[in-house]
Amino acid sequence: MRTIETIKSGRNYKAVSVGTIDQIIEHELPMGPNVIQGKVFVGQAVGATGSELSFQTLVPGQDSGFLHTHKTHEELYIILRGRGTYQVDGEQFPVGEGTIVRVSPDGRRALKNTGSENLTMLCIQYRANAFTEADSPMTDGNILGDALVW
């Protein structure tokens, strides 16, 4: 079983590694009496305060195991490698490397690997309807005048 490795941390950051995309399958997530092979949550490991994120690898023919919804979290599914079928509220559509799917909390969702190689995705969860116009990356960011030193 692979574990999350801390690379470096400081007052304003923490960096971790879950391994390469090919190594995601080595993680195990205990969920009640079951263990989900190839899934790892990372938000708490990096100290995230506004979101949760996870990586998951599905082998060919494998699905996520269940439909699910959320109470308050919206999700972004980012397909990093492989091909599959995504299902939301009974509708199905193909997904592959580079596909991004946003699902609101009430969306009944699941994912299946329909390809011949592993499908790996990144899922980002965050509270729905939390961002306002003031949260735009064009208005929230501050470009500093400090010179970059490498």
At 64, which CATH number? 2.60.120.10
Give residue 138's pLDDT.
Answer: 81
In which domain, by residue range, is 43 found? 5-129
Residue 142 lies in a domain: no
The pTM for the full model equals 0.92
> 1-49, pLDDT tens digit by residue?
999 999 999 999 999 999 999 999 999 999 888 899 999 999 999 999 9
Determine the average pLDDT of the residues in 53-82. 96
What residues contact residue 12 under an 8 Å CB cut-off, 6+ apart?
A: none
DSSP states of 8-27? EEETTEEEEE---GGGGGG-
Residue 148 lies in a domain: no
Number of independent structural domains in the chain: 1
Give residue 141's pLDDT.
Answer: 87
What residues contact residue 127 under an 8 Å CB cut-off, 6+ apart?
A: 50, 72, 73, 74
Residue 111 lies in a domain: yes
> 107-138, pLDDT tens digit by residue?
999 999 999 999 999 999 999 999 888 888 88
Sign of the torsion formed by the C-alpha atoms of 79, 84, 90 and 91:
positive
77 has pLDDT over 90: yes
Lowest-pLDDT choice from 74-88, 92-106, 124-138 = 124-138
